[in-house]
Amino acid sequence: METLQTIFSRKSVKTYTGEAVPQDKRDTVIKAALSSPVGMGKFENVHLTVIENKELLNEIDRNAAAFFGDPSRTPLYNAPILVVVSTPNQGNVDSANAAMIVHNMCLAAIDLGMGSCAIYGATAALANNADLVAKLNLPEGFVPTGSAVFGPTEATYELREIPMDKMTVAYID
C-alpha cells in the first residue's frame, strides 16, 4: 500500500481471527516500531515488550476487563500479539514517544494486511497491577505507557471518507 493510502484507509480493528502472526510480519512491525522518532533521540527511554504468550495475554485481558468493571469485555480483542511500550515516566514526551511507536506499528500492520489497534485502556490497567507488570521484566523504573495489538483479521480496508471538519482546524494566514 502507498503511504497515503494506508493512512487514509486506516482504522482501528477490534476483531481478530485468532491466527498467529507469521514471524517475518511480526519482525517487520517491530522494525517499524524501531523506526519511530523518539524525543531528543533518547532511544534508551523506550522499552518494547512483545507478548505472544497466550497465558499472559489472557491475564492482561482479564485484568483490564476487571479494571473496567465488565468481565464480558475482551479489551485485547483476542489478538495474537500485544506490544507494550514502556517508558521511565508517563509525562508529555514519554507519552508522545509511546504514541509514535504505537502508531508506526499500527500502520505497518495494516500495510502487511493485518488489523491493528492502539490499546491504552488495558495498558493503564496493566500499569496499575504491580504483579502483572513484574511479569514483563521491565528495566528498573520503567512503566507501561502505551501498547498496540495486531494480527490477522477479516476486516478489510478501503479509503475512508475524511471530512475536512472532522477535527477543528484553524488556519492562520
Ligand X SMILES: Cc1cc2nc3c(=O)[nH]c(=O)nc-3n(C[C@H](O)[C@H](O)[C@H](O)COP(=O)(O)O)c2cc1C
Asked if 12 touches ligand X (CB under 6 A), the answer is: yes
Quickly list DSSP for 20-77.
Answer: PPPHHHHHHHHHHHHTS--GGG-GGG-EEEEE--HHHHHHHHHHHHHHTT-TT--TTT
Distance, CA of 43 to CA of 37 (rounded, Å): 9
Q: Which is nearer to ligand X, 140 or 148 (CB)?
A: 148
Of the residues 6, 9, 14, 68, which one makes contact with ligand X according to CB under 6 A: 14
Quick one: 30 or 67, whose CB is closer to ligand X?
Answer: 67
Which member of 120, 133, 138, 143 binds ligand X (CB under 6 A)? 120
Minimum CB separation of residue 54 from ligand X in Å reads: 20
The reply to whether 88 sits near ligand X by the rule CB under 6 A is: no
Q: How far apart are CA 57 and CA 81, in angstroms?
A: 8
User: Do residues 156 and 102 lie in contact, with contact meaning Cβ atoms separated by under 8 Å?
Assistant: no
Supply the minimum distance, in Å, between the C-beta of residue 41 and ligand X.
23
CA distance 37 to 22: 26
Looking at beta carbons only, is 162 or 172 nearer to ligand X? Answer: 162
| Inter-CA distances, 6 with 80, 93, 98, 100, 112, Å | 22, 26, 20, 16, 10
Among 11-19, 28-36, 65-73, 164-172, the segment contacting ligand X (CB under 6 A): 11-19
**Which C-beta is closer to ligand X: that of 116 or that of 152?**
116
119 binds ligand X (CB under 6 A): yes
Q: Residues in the site for ligand X, rule: CB under 6 A?
A: 11-12, 14, 117-122
